[in-house]
Amino acid sequence: MKIKRVFAIPVLLMIIMLVSVFSRYMLHKNVVENYGSYFTDPQTGLPYLTEMDSYYHLRMTKDINELGHPGRQIVDGKPWDSMSYAPEGRAATGYRPLMSWITIGVYRISSSLTGMTLDQTAYWLNMFMSALVVIPIFLLALETGNLWGAFVSAVLAALNYGYFLHTIPGFFDTDGVIAWVSCFFFYFACMTVKKAAAKEYRALAFHGAGLLISFFALYNSWYIYYMFAGLFALALLIYIILTFKKGEAKASAVPAGIFAAVCLAVVILEPGIFERAFNLVSGIFRSSTGLFPNIFVSISELRKPALVTGGLAGLFQMKVLTDTNIGIINAVGGIVPFLTAIVMCPILIRRIVRKNISIENILLPLWFAVTLVLAFRGWRFIMLLALPVALMAGNAVSLLSSMMDEGKMMDKGIYKVMIIIVMTFPALYGVSRASGDSVPSASNAMVSSLYAIRDSAPEDTVLISWWDYGYVFEEKAGRATLFDGGSQSGIRSYWVSKALATKDEKLSANILRMLLGSGDKACTEMLDTFGENEETLVFMDELLSLDAPEAEKLLAGKESDPERRAALMALLFPENTPPAKYIITPDMSKISGWFATFGMSMGKDKLPAESYSAIMDGVGVSAPVNGKTVYKSGRGFNLILEKTEDDYSAYTSFTNERGEEPLKIDRVLVRDLSGYREFAVSQEASESQSSSQEAGLTWTVIIESDGHDAKLSLVTRDMADSVFGKLFYLGGEGLEHYAYDPLTSGATRVYDVR
Q: What are phi and psi of 463, to 5 degrees?
A: -95, 140
- Of all residues in the chain, the percent with pLDDT exceeding 90 is 55
**pLDDT at 289 exceeding the cut of 70:** no
Question: pLDDT (tens digit, 9 = 90+) per residue, 310-337?
Answer: 777 777 776 566 556 788 988 898 899 9
Q: What are phi and psi of 666, to 5 degrees?
A: -110, -5
Is there a domain that residue 601 lies in?
Answer: no
In terms of domains, do 292 and 410 share one? yes
Which DSSP string corresponds to 328-379? Answer: HHHHHT-HHHHHHHHHHHHHHHHHHHTT---HHHHHHHHHHHHHHHHHHH-G
Structure-derived torsion over alpha carbons of residues 482, 486, 487, 490, reported in degrees to the nearest 10: 150
User: Measured between alpha carbons, how far apart are the two ends of the chain, in Å?
Assistant: 78
Question: pLDDT (tens digit, 9 = 90+) per residue, 534-544?
Answer: 999 999 999 99
In terms of domains, do 86 and 172 share one? yes
In terms of domains, do 70 and 87 share one? yes
Give the residue from 567, 584, 601 where a domain finishes.
584
359-377 and 226-243 helices, crossing angle to 10°: 140
SS3 of residue 41 by DSSP: coil
- What's the whole-number average pLDDT of the chain? 87
Is there a domain that residue 754 lies in?
Answer: no
CATH assignment of the domain containing 518: 3.40.1380
Separation of alpha carbons 411 and 415, rounded Å: 8
Which DSSP string corresponds to 84-152? Answer: SSTTT-EE-TT---HHHHHHHHHHHHHHHHH---HHHHHHHHHHHHGGGGHHHHHHHHHHHS-HHHHHH
Is there a domain that residue 595 lies in?
Answer: no
For the full predicted model, state whether its pTM sits above 0.85.
yes
Is there a domain that residue 749 lies in?
Answer: no
How many CB atoms within 10 Å of residue 583? Answer: 26
pLDDT of residue 269: 87
> Which has more confidence, 564 or 404?
564
Question: pLDDT (tens digit, 9 = 90+) per residue, 268-283?
Answer: 888 877 766 666 665 5
Of 312-326, 414-428, 446-460, least confident by mean pLDDT is 312-326
Mean pLDDT of 473-491: 90
Is there a domain that residue 426 lies in?
Answer: yes
Residue 488: band (very low, low, confident or very high) from pLDDT cuts 50, 70, 90: confident
Q: For Cα atoms 346, 418, 315, give the angle at the middle one, nearest 5 degrees.
A: 60
Separation of alpha carbons 147 and 128, rounded Å: 24
Mean pLDDT of 551-569: 93
SS3 of residue 661 by DSSP: coil
In terms of domains, do 103 and 203 share one? yes
Q: Please give the C-alpha separations between residue 380 and each of 302, 315, 374, 440, 471, in angstroms, as whole numbers.
A: 6, 20, 9, 18, 19
pLDDT of residue 694: 42
348: Cα separation from own chain's centroid: 34
Give the residue from 406, 437, 468 where a domain finishes.
437
Question: pLDDT (tens digit, 9 = 90+) per residue, 26-72?
Answer: 888 877 777 778 888 999 999 999 888 999 999 999 999 999 999 99
pLDDT of residue 513: 97
SS3 of residue 81 by DSSP: strand
Residue 604: band (very low, low, confident or very high) from pLDDT cuts 50, 70, 90: low
Separation of alpha carbons 633 and 617, rounded Å: 10
pLDDT of residue 372: 94
Name the residue range of residue 178's domain: 2-437
**pLDDT at 689 exceeding the cut of 50:** no
SS3 of residue 298 by DSSP: helix
Instruction: Name, of 1-10, 37-46, 161-170, 364-373, the range with top average pLDDT.
Output: 364-373
Separation of alpha carbons 92 and 63, rounded Å: 11
Is there a domain that residue 651 lies in?
Answer: yes
Separation of alpha carbons 37 and 47, rounded Å: 8
Question: pLDDT (tens digit, 9 = 90+) per residue, 730-747?
Answer: 999 999 999 999 999 999
Question: pLDDT (tens digit, 9 = 90+) per residue, 132-147?
Answer: 999 999 999 999 888 9
> Which has more confidence, 379 or 526?
526
Mean pLDDT of 663-676: 90
Give the residue from 410, 437, 464 where a domain finishes.
437
**pLDDT at 6 exceeding the cut of 80:** no
**pLDDT at 287 exceeding the cut of 60:** no
Q: Buried (b) or exposed (e) across 405-434, using 16+ Cβ within 10 A?
A: eeeeeeeeeeebeebbeebbebbbbbbeeb
Q: What are phi and psi of 410, to 5 degrees?
A: -60, 125
Q: For the chain, how many structural domains are there in total? A: 3
How many CB atoms within 10 Å of residue 200? Answer: 14
In terms of domains, do 562 and 688 share one? no
Is there a domain that residue 105 lies in?
Answer: yes
Residue pair 84/94 in contact by the 8 Å Cβ criterion: no
Strands 738-740 and 749-753: antiparallel
pLDDT of residue 159: 92
Question: How many alpha carbons fall within 13 Å on the CB side of residue 754?
Answer: 9
In terms of domains, do 571 and 646 share one? no
**pLDDT at 429 exceeding the cut of 90:** no
52-67 and 98-114 helices, crossing angle to 10°: 70
In terms of domains, do 574 and 642 share one? no
In terms of domains, do 160 and 241 share one? yes
Is there a domain that residue 32 lies in?
Answer: yes
In terms of domains, do 218 and 287 share one? yes
In terms of domains, do 10 and 38 share one? yes
pLDDT of residue 687: 36
Separation of alpha carbons 210 and 442, rounded Å: 40
Q: What are phi and psi of 171, to 5 degrees?
A: -100, 85
Mean pLDDT of 588-615: 81
In terms of domains, do 518 and 636 share one? no
In terms of domains, do 120 and 251 share one? yes
Separation of alpha carbons 317 and 239, rounded Å: 37
Separation of alpha carbons 84 and 20, rounded Å: 35
Instruction: Name, of 273-277, 357-361, 386-390, 715-719, the range with top average pLDDT.
Output: 386-390
**E-state strands within 137-276:** none
**pLDDT at 683 exceeding the cut of 80:** no
Residue 409: band (very low, low, confident or very high) from pLDDT cuts 50, 70, 90: low
Smallest Cα–Cα separation from 739: which of 728, 747, 731? 731
